[in-house]
Structure 1
């Protein structure tokens, strides 16, 4: 819906809602993709709820490492739920219209949850760093108070830093086209429709990426360099293997999370020639990690896997 406005004998339209067209280039048969996307979404919900239930019921898992994993599950559920119901409604019910306020709220939630996921990986790296490099001080440093302060920091940091994204987008003037060739309200996709200066939005998007994910990734890399140096000093090959095995699942998730971000950034540059690729990657990056994270931890963490069996009554 648009409102027609006359000003100085020039006719233009003031946009009051956006139309999410879906996946560019395959609108006619994109509904078939709803089946695997719905499966991924339901898998993410079920697996992360199982993790939360297992950590809550199993007293042996009431440790900071698993508490951070529980927080990651909450963030993953929020991240997937931010986009998937709307995407499925587009594919199944052709519900393409979204109000400006709903669009800006989705934009805020995506940036907020993505920043929180990056931050959780950061604190999980710090947890492993202290556990391996300073094991005697671990019980006094990584406490429930530390976990609560980390949660408060993540919420405060990402809410404050993500808020300018929709605020800046809302200040733009959308005066003509209101169709977005996407399934969700991405910041760059929305402001591409603006009729005025888009530079503040693009600059802040770049600054935000470096302030949040860039900083987190640098600290994570430094933490694992220190962990590797500490492990190489161990005289026992068995102790070194055990130390690295506690980090393996975390490293797999970090590698996937940040690699997809880099690939997404590169493919976005080629978006005009192949618009489907960055759009599809953007969607998958919001739903695959929530579905993948629990499976990786279930396969790589013995205590958690045993907890699953007991909760599901599959074992003693």
Structure 2
């Protein structure tokens, strides 16, 4: 537990550490719960690293679509590594303390990778739009230079959007008796509600970040696929229509896997405060753990080149 101390005559307090509780109400079976969590983290890291290795070692995959897929895989690795240490520490070893500054750092990277993932999915939808609506100019529009600039813009957008968040939290006066977090990681809505101060600015800024990133990205993705659908319906051959739509299936699934939990976690933190704490925890875990696990599976199943290269890499690893 956090060491007790006298708080008399203290007008400003920041806790030396927060106490993470893992999954509320299920502390007695954390050991058993750690098994599926460990499996999911292993699948997420192995699957996304295999995609990165496959794209890097296969010249035929050195195309814009697979470069964006590599960005998505790298983002999923970062998102997994942002939550894995503290989650497994709580579930395996019952190590629940996290320092205040360490908590803010984890929170920054966690939400930054989420913004990056949203932006990469938008870039991937733009890639599919160009490939289907203007295939003859695809290579000239999405050059390596353009892709690098898109990648840098995505990182800059996430960094600038989330950079003020830790400083907005550090200015708050926290409650000495409210240092228990609802998850095994530092989540912005959870951390800011530990404060004994007016958090209106934090709420408004958090809402602005969500709307200006995931909100705008989701609308633009829908717009992109509306244009794609119109283009596909204008194709004369049913076979061409089917082939064009098939190239988008894996990306559509990845978009749904990411944005449905994003909407769920946003809604439950704003309108579901009456729900049991275990519901909040499980929705947050779905939002952060499930997309990195499912994305490699989706792309290895729906993309034949990726599937073949991943199987070839696995065979070589097993033989060596």
Normalising by the smaller structure, the TM-score range is over 0.9
> 3-state SS of the aligned residue for 2:6?
strand
Unaligned residue ranges in structure 2 (runs of 5+): none
Mapped partners of 1:118, 1:13: distance in 2: 35
Per-residue Cα deviation, 1:55-103 (whole angstroms, up to 9, x for no partner): 1111100101001111111100000110111111011111111101110
- Give the C-alpha shift of residue 309 in structure 1: 2.6
TM-score by length of 1: 0.95
Q: Does 1:228 align with 2:229?
A: yes
1:266 partnered with 2:267? yes
| Structure 1 residue 310, shift from structure 2 partner | 2.4
- Secondary structure of the 1:6 match is coil
SS of the aligned residue for 2:157 comes to helix
Contact 1:20 1:184 survives alignment (8 Å): yes
Cα drift, residue 141 of structure 1: 0.5
- 1:296: which partner in 2? 298
Using the TM superposition, give the Cα deviation of residue 111 of structure 1 relative to its aligned residue in structure 2, in angstroms: 1.0
SS in 2 for 1:312: helix
**Deviation per residue, 1:14-61 (Å, 9 max, x gap):** 521111112122222233211101100011111111111111111100
Unaligned 5+ runs, structure 1: none
97-106 or 12-21: bigger deviation: 12-21
* Runs of 4+ deviating beyond 3 Å: 10-14
* Contact 1:299–1:305 under 8 Å retained in 2: yes
Q: Distance between the aligned counterparts of 2:187 and 2:197, measured in 1? A: 18
Query: In the aligned structure 2, how far is the partner of 1:43 from the partner of 1:133?
Result: 35
Q: Is the 8 A contact 1:76 1:290 kept in 2?
A: yes
Aligned pairs for 1:115-194 within 5 A: 115-177=115-177, 178-194=179-195
1:79 equivalent in structure 2: 79
**Alignment: residue pair count:** 312
RMSD after superposition: 1.6
Tell me the alpha carbon deviations over residues 205-255 of structure 1, each in whole angstroms, 9 at most, x when there is no partner: 111000000111111111000000000000000011110000000001101
Matched, 1:285 2:262: no
Q: Residue 250 of structure 2 aligns with which residue?
A: 249
Partner of 1:219: 220
